[in-house]
Amino acid sequence: MSGHSTSSPLKTYFVIWAALLAGTYVTYKVAFIDLHPFNAAIALTIASIKATLVALYFMHIKGASEKLTKMVVISALFFLLLLLGLTMTDYATRLWS
Amino acid sequence: MSMEIAIPQPVERENYLNKEYGVWSWLLTTDHKRIALLYLISITFFFFIGGFFALLIRLELLTPAGDLVQADTYNKLFTMHGMVMVFFFLIPSIPAVLGNFLVPMMIGAKDLAFPRINLLSWYLYIIGGVMMLHCMLTGGVDTGWTFYAPFSTNYSNTKIVEAGLAIFVAGFSSILTGLNFVVTIHRMRAPGLTWSRLPLFIWAHYATSIIQLLGTPVIAVTIVLVACERALHLGIFDPRLGGDPLLFQHLFWFYSHPAVYIMILPSMGVVTEIIACFSRKRIFGYSFVAFSSIAIAVFGFLVWAHHMFVAGMSVYAALVFSLLSYAVAVPSAIKVFNWTATLYKGSIHYDAPMLYAFGFLGLFTMGGLTGLFLAALGIDVHVTDTYFVVAHFHYIMVGGAVMGYLGGMHFWWPKISGRLYPEGWARLAALIVFIGFNLTFFPQFLLGYMGMPRRYYDYSHMPEFQVLNVLSTAGATVLGVGYLLPMVYFLWSMRYGKPASDNPWNAAGLEWKTASPPPTFNFDEEPVVTWEAYNYEELDAPHSEEVPVAR
Amino acid sequence: MPDSTVVSLQHEEQHCPELLHHFADPQQQRDASSLGMWVFLATEVMFFGGLFCAYLIYRLKFFADFGAASKSIDATLGATNTAVLICSSLTVVVAVWAAQTARRTLLIGMLAVTMLLGFVFLGIKAVEYKDKFEEHHVPGASFSFDRVPIPGHPDQYANPQHAQLFFSLYFVMTGLHALHMVVGLGIFSWLLYAARKGRFTPEWHTPVEIGGLYWHFVDIIWIYLFPLLYLIDRHP
């Protein structure tokens, strides 16, 4: 993924890095507050934001000229969700009858 | 571009076979064509190992009593037959042999994107194969190729961790092959070769690679979990800890169902090429066939729990998976219709590859339709774990995949070896295979429907089944003869066969525009493609083998 | 896709000795390597995915017991490790930039710091594993999880069998992740060696880029493992 380098990509990297650390801190702190059942949702949402930031900025998906890389990532996530989701159809409905 | 009669050549041209001699030039090669041949030898070896186990199974089933081997031994026989045939023959077969050889050539490239990874993939296959051989020789596994928990994790005394690791390593080989194909097809097509001009063989291998890439890792991690449970007591599937054995089945079948599409899609690609060539027509409905390949790959991931209908899963989830299983049949059916429509008003030539393609058409259709029987929940309850299922998947894997493999080997043999195989013997072999196959497996549909369970070494409480079992065993013997014949005449042809011209079939496709056998870098000049795929209206009919070609 | 002009092999080799013979030009080689690494990472998503699937099922089924088990592992160490990996991702991406801009010393430095942070991560993990061993939380014959209260319900005890399931998943998931870290360290030690030999230039530094992709992926896995394993039910 060659240079779409702006005048200082370093600045972006440090901003993202700070955001990631902040997200970690927030996740850690919020876990000790009872927000059941939202604790898991908050933690996973922050984790997903962090993962997205790493993927977009550190792994240079943002600014990648080709759609193919994005397709690969989206396909992987899609099939992962398939595995989790369709398996859950069994476990979620086993006790229905 | 029409074919000219080959110019007599006094000196043998340099090609990938004679460029270098010596064992190390083969064992350290990065030439995709040589790696394909390394795979050819290896998978043929494992095919005969798996076939040997099949022979013993069928010998035991000649009589109702369990009188040839002990029950535990019989369990090991069908397990090893399944594991070897699935992981060490069927899954690599067409992609690793024909795919490796042809994918770069069909797209006009000099090699795959990662030649060294290609070689690594073969070595991983060999390492996995050696591990599996060692496992078999030191006791084997008795869980069935499906190694269900908790028998495999807690109660079996056989070498499950070793077999699992062998499959893990072989699975890595499969992943790397898929990776290589995907990157090659995306990045290394010749100028002018757009996606819609690609041979459907390439589309089929692209779809296969998607499955290999996304499915195999799941069974890999499942094997890791089973190994951890056995060796380290990290119980994930242990019911005593609250674990669910059905979770194993979910994870196992998430790969193993798409795996059957890994086995059939390449074969479909081969059949498409053969039918187009020997009908002298462009494939009917090119886009439909191309997108059906992708659809099969995607839909194939949605149906896995149809293997678990009677295992204790939720009935509501079973309904969903049953519906999806009907849906997955649609793209396959679309392909069958398109092949048939291609034949219509075509100029049919009955060379051996075409005979195998015809066999594929009929037998794959039968296998596929019986799959629909199994997708229906009510029928499935009746025929699960009977010979009906065994017959169903053998119709697809043997009647479909293996026939496609043999057809492809015949079709591309002149390109691979530079020699023509003896057509008469090849047609005879195809006929023997077809007869032997049906004799072996059709009775099994009847047996299964009438209630004979699979994986039983003793059916003495149902002695009336013996007649059909004897027919099946007789068929297996005939089938074995049919498989041995090509081994013999292919080897014979390497020395005594007529040298082949660049394009003995006058087939469309870039691989036919270079010498037989090809030079190491495939093409003397990078091709620039300006024509659509299957341009048979511009090509003459295939010549018979009487065309004079100088030795 | 490269243009339809046929490129002469020798011409390209003069400019870029790293060009492999079967590629038409360095751009194609670079694109192929990058796509190859991305596709490989997709397979890794599915590899870990199986474990996440098992985790999801059992967490929903045995939430209370999993909460109790999760509470017994050190969240501060886990958070620290998360921060360590995030810092290492920063050093990786700066390393790539250094390679792109021909800053060899910075490149070597960043690669070294990345490896150092990787070792710190593994060290902290080792401490955690030792703690678990000492508390008899390693599944197997000597596993014990008696009379551990469920978070929020001090009068109820967690089921030790279900807790053992949690720890099985904990060890397999973090163990597999640690294995990937070790492989990453191996890759980076080669990158460090090659960087010191001056093999990376602004025209060709593909191994640094794709090694970086792998490292970021391992970081992303941990980003999910941390809340899922350490923070199931932390409120008192």
Q: Which residue numbers in chain B have pLDDT < 70?
A: 1-11, 542-551
Q: Which residues in chain A have their CB less than 8 angstroms from residue B254's CB?
A: 83, 87
Tokens of B223: 């094997």
> For residue B198, how many C-alpha atoms fall within 13 Å in the half-sphere facing its CB?
26
Fold of C26-230: Four Helix Bundle (Hemerythrin (Met), subunit A) (1.20.120)
pLDDT for the residue A96: 84
- Give burial (CB, 10 Å; 0-12/13-18/19+) of C179: exposed
How many Å lie between the alpha carbon of C34 and the closest alpha carbon of chain B?
Answer: 9
Nearest chain A residue (CA) to C42: A76
Encoded tokens for A12: 């972006």
Cβ distance of C56 and A76 shorter than 8 Å = no
Contact state of B242 with C165 under an 8 Å Cβ cutoff? yes
Query: Which chain C residues have a beta carbon less than 8 Å from that of B186?
Result: 35
Confidence (pLDDT) at C43: 97
Chain B stretch 327-366, residues whose beta carbon is closer than 8 A to a beta carbon of chain C: none
- Chain C neighbours, 3+ Cβ pairs < 8 A: A, B
Q: Calculate Rg over the CA atoms of chain A.
A: 18
Across the interface, whether the CB atoms of A72 and C35 are under 8 A apart is answered yes
Contact between residue B177 and residue B222 where contact means Cβ atoms under 8 Å apart: no
Task: Compare CB distances from B236 to C4, C49, C168 and report the shortest one's residue.
Answer: C168
Of B218, B313, B320, the CB nearest to A83: B218
All domains of chain B, ordered by start, with CATH? 29-538 (1.20.210.10)
Query: What is the dihedral angle through the alpha carbons of C102, C108, C110, C116, rounded to the nearest 10 degrees?
Result: 170
Q: What are the backbone angles phi and psi of residue B190, rounded to the nearest 5°?
A: -65, 160
Query: Which chain C residues are within 8 Å of B519, Cβ to Cβ?
Result: none
Q: Which residue out of C39, C52, C133 would a mutagenesis test of the B interface target, given it has the greatest number of B Cβ atoms within 10 Å?
A: C39
Give the orientation angle of helix B245-279 with respect to helix B352-375, to 10 degrees.
150
Q: Which residues of A touch B179 (CB under 8 A)?
A: none
Residues of chain C positioned with their CB less than 8 A from the CB of A33: 235
Asked if the C-beta of A77 comes within 8 angstroms of chain B's C-beta atoms, the answer is: no
Query: Chain A: nearest CA to B484, how far in angstroms?
Result: 41
Among the partner-chain residues B210, B250, B302, the one whose CB lies closest to the CB of A90 is B250
B218 touches chain A (CB under 8 A): yes
| Whether the complex's predicted ipTM surpasses the cut of 0.95 | no
Structure-token match 């398109």, residue found: B338
Residues 6 or more apart whose CB falls under 8 angstroms from that of B277 comprise B353, B411, B505, B506, B507, B508, B536, B542
Domains of chain C: which residue ranges?
26-230
Q: How many CB atoms lie within 10 A of CB A29?
A: 11
**What are the φ/ψ torsions at residue A3 (nearest 5 degrees)?**
-45, 105
Identify the CA nearest to C233 among candidates A32, A47, A44: A32
- Tell me the one-letter amino acid at B373: F
**Alpha-carbon radius of gyration of chain B:** 23
Say if B188 is an interface residue toward chain C (CB within 8 Å).
yes
Q: Kindly list the distances between the CA atom of residue B114 and the CA atoms of A11, B179, B187, B224, B526, in Å, as whole numbers in the listed order.
A: 36, 9, 11, 27, 19
pLDDT score at A2? 46
The beta-carbon neighbor of B250 closest among A76, A87, A97 is A87
Total count of residues recorded for chain C: 236
Per CB-CB distance under 8 Å, the chain C contacts of B529 are none
Residue B301 DSSP class: G
Higher pLDDT, B214 or A3: B214
Cβ–Cβ < 8 Å for B75, B139: no
Residue C126 pairs in a beta bridge with: none
Test C83 with A72 for CB contact under 8 angstroms.
no
Of the pLDDT bands very low, low, confident and very high (cuts 50, 70, 90), residue C13 is very low
Tally the C-alpha atoms within 13 A of residue A64's C-alpha that lie toward its C-beta.
Answer: 21
Which chain A residues contact residue B250 at CB under 8 A? 87, 90
**B179–chain A Cβ distance below 8 A for any pair:** no
pLDDT, residue A63, reads 74
pLDDT tens digits along C138-160: 998 899 999 999 988 889 999 99
The pLDDT tens digits for A34-78 are: 887 788 899 999 999 999 999 999 999 887 767 899 999 999 999
* Cα-to-chain-centroid distance, residue B130: 21
- The reported pLDDT for the residue numbered A34 is 82
Paired strand residues for C157: C149
Interchain contact B19–C (C-beta under 8 A): no
Task: Write out pLDDT tens, residues C29-72.
Answer: 999 999 999 999 999 999 999 999 999 999 999 999 999 999 99
Q: Other CB atoms closer than 10 Å to residue B112's CB: what's the count?
A: 28
Q: Do B213 and C39 touch (CB under 8 A)?
A: yes
A18 CA to chain C: closest CA distance, Å?
9
Helix (H, G, I), strand (E, B) or coil at C143: coil
Q: Given this model, what pLDDT does residue C7 score? A: 43
What's the CA gap between B74 and B90, in Å, rounded?
A: 22
**pLDDT score of C85:** 97
Of all residues in chain A, the one with the smallest CA distance to C78 is A28
Q: How far is B470 from B479, CA to CA, in rounded Å?
A: 14
> Is residue C104 over pLDDT 80?
yes
**Residues of chain C neighbouring B193 (CB-CB closer than 8 A):** none
Please give, rounded to a whole number of angstroms, the shortest distance from the CA of A97 to a CA of chain C. 17
- Which of A82, A90, A91, A93 to mutate: most B Cβ within 10 Å? A90
Give the closest of C36, C53, C54 to B179, CB-based. C36
On chain A, the residues whose CB falls within 8 A of the CB of B186 are 68
Please tell me which chains touch B, using 3 or more CB pairs under 8 Å as the contact test.
A, C
pLDDT at B5: 61
Record: contact B313-A90, CB cut-off 8 A: yes
Given an 8 Å threshold on Cβ–Cβ distance, is B234 in contact with C168?
yes
Q: Output the pLDDT for position B543.
A: 57
User: In angstroms, what is the C-alpha Rg of chain C?
Assistant: 22
From chain B, pick out residues whose CB is under 8 angstroms from the CB of C42.
213-214
- Which pTM does this prediction carry? 0.93
Question: Could you tell me if B13 lies within 8 Å of chain C, comparing CB atoms?
Answer: no
pLDDT at B1 (0 to 100):
45
Tell me if B254 sits within 8 A of B218, measured CB to CB. Answer: yes
